[in-house]
């Protein structure tokens, strides 16, 4: 577990160790810490555009004492898993554009407006809408808690959520709309969050359309 102050100290050290400027996108709990929504996290999640940048970043972590970590212990045999390195108090998960089933889309990158610079390390923080989308397709209980925190502490434009879910399906994440609908409906029924009924109806209409189109394709 790493808190805000420890994370900042770690990122400063990495920025000093990197031999050149590298830009990464912060997602998950890391992004939520930058937004002030969470105070600590178990893992620091970054998305990279370039493999060479990820290699440079991992070299810097190893110079600071990070050790290799077995990705299968955390993610099993899923596709698009990250490369992982860990310290005694935290783990770095380093993805390349694909985050398991999700894709860090061009629209997500465009919405990553908040930027922090730590020497040679430039961090662009994923938008709350996009963190919510990525957390809606997992089965972890803590991601439900994070969705609640994001909705209750951010100004959510539900139309952005719906449009990005549609985009995720186009990019190959077939469970994006279904996962989103299930999570939002469940949390709304529990009164943990408030989602307009019109939005939930729109999501389920999109899901039904997706199913019909899939059936049509399978029938040739």
Is residue 35 located within the same domain as residue 132? Answer: no
- The domain tally of the chain equals 2
> Which one of 126, 156, 173 terminates a domain?
126
* Residue 22 to residues 31, 56, 149, Cα–Cα distance (Å): 17, 8, 30
Cα(67)–Cα(188) distance, rounded to whole angstroms? 41
Per-residue pLDDT tens for 76-118? Answer: 878 889 999 999 889 999 999 999 889 999 999 999 999 999 9
In a domain, 220, yes or no: no
Q: Is 70 helix (H, G, I), strand (E, B) or coil?
A: coil
In a domain, 149, yes or no: yes
Per-residue pLDDT tens for 131-173? Answer: 999 999 887 888 999 999 999 999 999 999 999 999 999 999 9
In a domain, 115, yes or no: yes
Is residue 41 located within the same domain as residue 101? Answer: yes
Is residue 85 located within the same domain as residue 2? Answer: yes
Is residue 88 located within the same domain as residue 17? Answer: yes
Containing domain of residue 91, as a range? 1-126
Is residue 145 located within the same domain as residue 188? Answer: yes
Is residue 4 located within the same domain as residue 92? Answer: yes
Q: List all residues 6 or more positions away from 13 whose beta carbon is below 8 Å from its beta carbon.
A: 64
pLDDT at 220 over 70: no
Cα(95)–Cα(80) distance, rounded to whole angstroms? 8
pLDDT at position 73 is 84
pLDDT at 6 over 90: yes
């Amino acid at each position: 577990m790493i808190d805000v102050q420890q994370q900042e100290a770690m990122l400063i050290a990495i920025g000093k160790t990197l031999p050149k400027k590298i830009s990464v996108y912060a997602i998950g709990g890391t992004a939520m810490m930058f937004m002030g929504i969470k105070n600590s996290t178990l893992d620091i999640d970054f998305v990279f555009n370039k493999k060479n940048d990820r290699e440079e970043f991992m070299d810097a972590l190893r110079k600071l004492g990070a050790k290799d970590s077995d990705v299968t212990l955390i993610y099993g045999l899923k596709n698009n898993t990250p490369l992982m390195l860990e310290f005694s108090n935290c783990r770095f998960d380093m993805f390349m554009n694909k985050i398991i089933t999700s894709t860090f889309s061009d629209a997500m990158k465009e919405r990553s407006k908040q930027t922090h610079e730590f020497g040679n390390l430039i961090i662009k923080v994923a938008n709350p809408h996009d963190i919510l989308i990525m957390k809606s397709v997992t089965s972890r209980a803590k991601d439900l808690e994070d969705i609640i925190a994001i909705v209750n502490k951010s100004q959510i434009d539900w139309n952005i959520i719906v449009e990005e879910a549609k985009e995720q399906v186009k990019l190959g994440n077939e469970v994006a709309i279904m996962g989103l609908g299930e999570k939002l409906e469940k949390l709304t029924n529990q009164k943990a969050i408030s989602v307009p009924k019109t939005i939930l109806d729109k999501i389920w209409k999109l899901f039904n359309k997706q199913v019909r189109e899939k059936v049509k394709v399978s029938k040739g």
